[in-house]
Structure 1
Amino acid sequence: MDFSTVAKKASSGLLFLTIALMALSFVQCTPKHQVTSSTTTLINPDKGLKDYYRDYFPIGVAVSMASLHGPDSALIVKEFNSVTPENDMKMGPIHPSENVYNWKNADEIVDFATSHHIKIRGHNLCWHNQEAAWMFKGPNGEPVTKELLLQRLKNHIFTVAGRYKGKIYAWDVVNEAVDDGDDTTQIYRKSNWYKICNGPDFIEAAFRYAHEADPDAKLYYNDYNSEHPVKREKIYKLLKKLIEDHVPIDGVGMQAHWKLNDPSPNDLRKALDEVTSLGLKVQFTEMDITIRLPKSTPAPGTAPAAGGAMPTPEAGYTPEVEAKQIAQYKMAFDIFRQYRHFITNVTFWNVSDRSSWLDWRGGGLTGGAAAGVNTPREVRKAYPLLFDENRQRKKAYWSVVNF
């Protein structure tokens, strides 16, 4: 049809109606799982991410109390069929002292999810960050013994996992226990857990306790930078040892706090191939793709900025970075679908760009410490998610569902 002819002959009202009808006709003739190349056409506004991926894997989101009691709640119900408590089940917040448990927030999240028929991932049972400091002190204030520490860990896991038995289908049992350094002989992070146990025995113990507390729950080891070659091999060695020792573990959580150029498709595939070669499942547990650059290092002979701070580039959500983010999300989900038989969940860390833990993290963005209380409090917008600051679908959203 000649659009210029239509425009000349139709009144403004008729022109609008004509174009609208043509657009509707195009949508009806387009396969329901595709969008136009502009990624702006809503194929079916009633469908959410969970619906597009119904035949692949659940799509989840990390939630807080604010997201349950505000405008985010409707978006959560529409788009997602899995939730992870962002902070409210971590050891420090839920178990601040030996005989005190804070159940209110965790219970509300569980009740919200179950009332909307949404699956729940538990996060997490053992971590070096947001830990309960009292666990590492003996009865008289002296350093705790290994035996007492493991007993306290067991009591914690039995109490928390036991309370939600039958409601939480999967747990991040141990979080970020692998060392980040380039020394390939140093596999484990030198955390309080590692130091007091004089090794990684706490990892095996945590998985055995979790399995005893809830035999039906799926148990995951969760970490970041799982695609980076050195850390990938360290994680592989940990997993292989757990399997050889007949430790009850079902899979690996790859956090997926990613950047516009990291990971590469090759590194992501290698990480997936290594984990699945062990017979383990994979969940992408904390996904976001920041547009921000790491803090830069001054060139040799260049003085740092005033006060000793490094410059922090902030270009904003420009068309250039938007295009890179769209491409990175598309690459990731293209690969996820190819590994559909091994991937059992993909979860985004926060709901929309309106509020992301990365906005409050001003460091080098090396990963980890998601929503940790000790992260720097410098606001730099990261725009890392599929929904913008007004909770509207971004173009990156359509790159994920356009298959």
Structure 2
Amino acid sequence: MDPSTIFKNIDRGLLLLIIAFIVSSFIQNTPKKGPALFIAGNTKAHNTDKGLKDYYKNYFPIGVAVSAASLHGPDSALIVKEFNSVTPENDMKMGPINPSEGVYNWKNADDIVDFAVSHHIKIRGHNLCWHNQEAIWMFKDTNGKPVTKELLLQRLKDHIFTVAGRYKGKIYAWDVVNEAVDDSDDTTQIYRKSNWYNICNGPDFIEAAFKYAHEADPHARLYYNDYNSEHPVKREKIFKLLKKLIADHVPIDGVGMQAHWKLNDPSPDELRKALDEVTSLGLKVQFTELDITIRLPQPKPATGAAAPGATILPTPDPGYTPELEAKQIAQYKMAFDIFRQYKKFITSVTFWNVSDRYSWLDQRGGGLMGGAAAAAKAPHLLKKAYPLLFDENRQRKKAYWSVVNF
């Protein structure tokens, strides 16, 4: 039959209804927002209205380390959009907040807490006891001599009660003790020989700090925090410390794995092994200081290659090349793939700094030491590390999409 004859036989009203249905369906299925974004090799659309916290709302909070200054500039909007947890980068560390006996610098810490509370953002406290950025006055008596163990622990208690007590009910988790485990390959040396360890003649300060923190805020979650937690030797040292704390009925809730990582470190197997060991003890895990530097380790000079006292120049800054970018994307994807697999044990993932515009790693003199994030007095030789998910213009990098597209 001729098509024109078919249309002549269709009731005009019915035809109008059919046309209206087709137009309505087209409108309803047309995106109402701007065009979706894509990256090469990925057919999944990028939703630019969602933040990291939204992608991971069914997994764990996504946090970021902040300074008081970052709350009043362009970083502020990015923090609110992307994250639902913050950690003070420096402003609650013992030295900055309690520089002398009875003196406390509250302004910056208060600003961070007030900002987070006003935006309904969770707060991790960092930290209550550390060998770096410490309050030097705590270790000396009025004559400048080393204090007794008893006096040092009393000062530690006063500090923890004052700081944790001030933010009771607002800070939900604390890094109570930071980096107390020895970082060498000497398997017989478990603890770092810090002022805390030396004056206490052992690790008693660790147990004391956790007990004081629990007394100061019984509802706060308490974490032991350290770097290189995935490296086999240090991993086992941390495991021994954790088993001792649990055996001694110390109030500890979990472990903070700092996650200052490199393009090829840790391996997937190392990361899973570290997670399996911690969770086997019934403890939770938080990744507390995540960044993945693109900088490669500097080769150590051969014996006799340089005269004593000679200056060893850092390797040239390669920049954020496509090759390094691809490796960083792969490492971030690997990490978050594993994080999601362990979601019932992981209670937070926090990035250390907001964007590549600023990273504590840029001030590390080209070296690649782990830990001591944002430590004062680090060498100030700028060598960009490009370690985060946002570039120097605070724009999402390709690594961002490798983390959220799952």
Scaled by the length of structure 2, the TM-score of the pair is 0.89
3-state SS, counterpart of residue 308 of structure 1: coil
Question: What stretches of structure 1 of length at least 5 have no aligned partner?
Answer: 1-20
Question: What stretches of structure 2 of length at least 5 have no aligned partner?
Answer: 1-25
Aligned to 1:46: 49
**Residue 402 in 1 paired to residue 401 in 2?**
no
What is the percentage of aligned positions where both structures have the same residue? 82
Aligned to 2:178: 175
**Residue 86 in 1 paired to residue 89 in 2?**
yes
Q: CA RMSD in A?
A: 2.2
After the TM superposition, which of the residue ranges 257-266 and 133-142 deviates more from structure 2? 133-142
In structure 1, which of residues 221, 238, 257 is the aligned counterpart of residue 224 of structure 2? 221
Q: Is the 8 A contact 1:296 1:311 kept in 2?
A: no
Amino acid at match of 2:357: R
TM-fit CA distance, 1:59? 0.1
CA distance in 1, matches of 2:397, 2:85: 21
**Residue 332 in 1 paired to residue 357 in 2?**
no
Q: Is the 8 A contact 2:39 2:398 kept in 1?
A: no
In structure 2, which of residues 241, 259, 278 is the aligned counterpart of residue 238 of structure 1? 241
Amino acid at match of 2:201: N
**Residue 151 in 1 paired to residue 162 in 2?**
no
Amino acid at match of 2:172: Y
Aligned to 1:122: 125
TM-fit CA distance, 1:43? 2.4
CA distance in 2, matches of 1:40, 1:77: 28
**Residue 297 in 1 paired to residue 288 in 2?**
no
Aligned to 2:134: 131
TM-fit CA distance, 1:231? 0.1
Alignment of 1:54-133 (within 5 A): 54-133=57-136
**Bigger Rg over Cα:** 2
TM-fit CA distance, 1:25? 6.5
Aligned to 2:260: 257
CA distance in 2, matches of 1:153, 1:78: 37
In structure 2, which of residues 359, 384, 388 is the aligned counterpart of residue 385 of structure 1? 388
Q: Is the 8 A contact 1:172 1:222 kept in 2?
A: yes
Amino acid at match of 1:80: F
Amino acid at match of 1:352: S
Q: Is the 8 A contact 2:130 2:179 kept in 1?
A: yes
TM-fit CA distance, 1:38? 4.0
Aligned to 2:143: 140
Amino acid at match of 1:233: E
Q: Is the 8 A contact 2:68 2:109 kept in 1?
A: no
CA distance in 1, matches of 2:233, 2:393: 39
Question: For each residue in 1:129-172, what CA deviation from the matched residue of structure 2 results, as whole angstroms up to 9, or x when unmatched?
Answer: 00000000012222100000000000000000000000000000
TM-fit CA distance, 1:37? 5.0
CA distance in 2, matches of 1:240, 1:270: 16
Aligned to 1:367: 370
Aligned to 1:352: 355
**Residue 315 in 1 paired to residue 314 in 2?**
no
**Residue 195 in 1 paired to residue 190 in 2?**
no
CA distance in 2, matches of 1:36, 1:69: 32
**Residue 209 in 1 paired to residue 212 in 2?**
yes
CA distance in 1, matches of 2:391, 2:397: 6
CA distance in 1, matches of 2:65, 2:364: 17
Q: Is the 8 A contact 1:146 1:196 kept in 2?
A: yes
After the TM superposition, which of the residue ranges 353-362 and 41-50 deviates more from structure 2? 41-50
CA distance in 2, matches of 1:162, 1:269: 36
- Taking a change above 3 Å as real, the CA distance of residues 35 and 253 of structure 1, as seen in their structure-2 partners, is farther
CA distance in 2, matches of 1:305, 1:39: 53
